[in-house]
Amino acid sequence: MSEKGERIICRCNEVTLEEIEALIEQGVADIEMIKRLLRIGMGPCQGRTCLPMVISIIARKTGKSPDEIKLPATRIPIRPVPAGVLVGDMNEE
Amino acid sequence: MKSKAEVVVIGGGSTGTSIAYHLAKLGVDVVLVEKEYLGSGSTFRCATGIRQQFTDEANIKLQKYNVERWKKLSEELEYDINFKQTGYLFLATTEEEVEAFKENIKLHNRFGVPTRLITPEEAKEIVPLLNADEFLAGQWNPTDGKANPFKTVFAFSRKAKELGAEIYEYTEVTDIIVENNEVKGVKTNRGTIKADVVVNATNAWAPIINEMAGLDRDFIPIKPYKHQIVKTEPLKEGQIEPLVCPPAWNDSYVIQDGEDGGVICGTGLEHGPTYDVTPTYDFLREVLKWATRIIPALKYVHVLRQWAGQYAKTPDSNPAIGKINSIDGFYIAAGFSGHGFMMAPGVGEAMAELIVKGKTHVPLDWEWYDPHRFERGELRSTAFQIG
Dihedrals phi, psi of B214, to nearest 5 degrees: 95, 5
Instruction: Give all strands of the β-sheet with B173-179 in edge-to-edge order.
Output: B173-179, B182-188, B191-194
Chain B closest CA to A80's CA: distance in Å?
A: 5
Other beta carbons within 10 angstroms of residue B31's beta carbon come to 25
List pLDDT tens digits, range B314-358.
Answer: 999 999 999 999 999 999 999 999 999 999 999 999 999 999 999
Q: Which residues of B151-180 are buried (b: 16+ CB within 10 A; e: fewer)?
A: bbbbbbbbbbbebebbbbbebebeebbbee
Question: Bigger pLDDT: B228 or A90?
Answer: B228
List pLDDT tens digits, range B183-200.
Answer: 999 999 999 999 999 999
pLDDT at B9: 99
List pLDDT tens digits, range B130-157.
Answer: 999 999 999 999 999 999 999 999 999 9
Q: What is the arithmetic mean of pLDDT over B80-102? A: 98
**CA-based nearest residue in chain B for residue A74:** B305
pLDDT > 70: percent of chain B: 100
Residue ranges, chain A, pLDDT below 70: 1-4, 91-93
Q: What is the arithmetic mean of pLDDT over B199-225? A: 98
Q: Please compute Rg for chain A using Cα positions.
A: 16
Confidence of residue B99 (pLDDT cuts 50, 70, 90): very high
Q: What is the arithmetic mean of pLDDT over B188-214? A: 98
- Residue B228 clears pLDDT 80, i.e. is over it: yes
Q: What is the arithmetic mean of pLDDT over B223-242? A: 97
- The question of ipTM being above 0.90 is answered as yes
Q: What is the arithmetic mean of pLDDT over B236-255? A: 97
Nearest to A83 among B40, B150, B301 (CB): B301
- Residue B98 clears pLDDT 60, i.e. is over it: yes
Report CB contact under 8 Å: A44, B302: yes
Q: Categorise residue B371: left if φ over 0, alpha if ψ from -120 to 50, beta otherwise.
A: alpha
3-state secondary structure chain B: CCCECCEEEECCCHHHHHHHHHHHHCCCCEEEECCCCCCCCCHHHCCCEECCCCCCHHHHHHHHHHHHHHHHHHHHHCCCCCCECCCEEEEECCHHHHHHHHHHHHHHHHCCCCCEEECHHHHHHHCCCCCHHHCCEEEEECCCEECCHHHHHHHHHHHHHHCCCEEECCCCEEEEEEECCEEEEEEECCEEEECCEEEECCHHHHHHHHHHCCCCCCCCCCEEEEEEEEEEEECCCCCCCCEEECCCCCCCEEEECCCCCEEEEECCCCECCCCCCCCCHHHHHHHHHHHHHHCHHHHHCEEEEEEEEEEEECCCCCCEEEECCCCECEEEEECCCCCHHHHHHHHHHHHHHHHHHCCCCCCCCCCCCCCCCCCCCCCCCCCCCCC
pLDDT > 90: percent of chain B: 99
Q: Which residues of A18-44 are buried (b: 16+ CB within 10 A; e: fewer)?
A: ebbbebbeeebebbbbbbbbbbbbbbe
Q: What is the arithmetic mean of pLDDT over B35-40? A: 98
Interface of B with A in 125-164 (CB under 8 A): 150-151, 154
pTM given for the model: 0.97
Chain B closest CA to A62's CA: distance in Å?
A: 17
Chain A closest CA to B288's CA: distance in Å?
A: 6
pLDDT at A2: 57
- Burial of residue B231, with CB atoms counted within 10 A of its CB: 0-12 exposed, 13-18 middle, 19 or more buried: buried
Confidence of residue B369 (pLDDT cuts 50, 70, 90): very high
pLDDT at B75: 98
Residues of chain A positioned with their CB less than 8 A from the CB of B259: 39
Nearest to A32 among B37, B284, B300 (CB): B37
Answer for the pair B287, B252: CB distance below 8 angstroms, yes or no. Answer: yes
Spell out the residues 6+ positions from residue A23 whose beta carbon is closer than 8 angstroms to its own: A34, A37, A38
pLDDT at B175: 98
pLDDT at B138: 98
Chain B closest CA to A38's CA: distance in Å?
A: 10
Question: Bigger pLDDT: B41 or A2?
Answer: B41
Residues of chain A positioned with their CB less than 8 A from the CB of B299: 82-84, 87, 89-90
What's the gap between Cα A56 and its chain centre?
A: 13
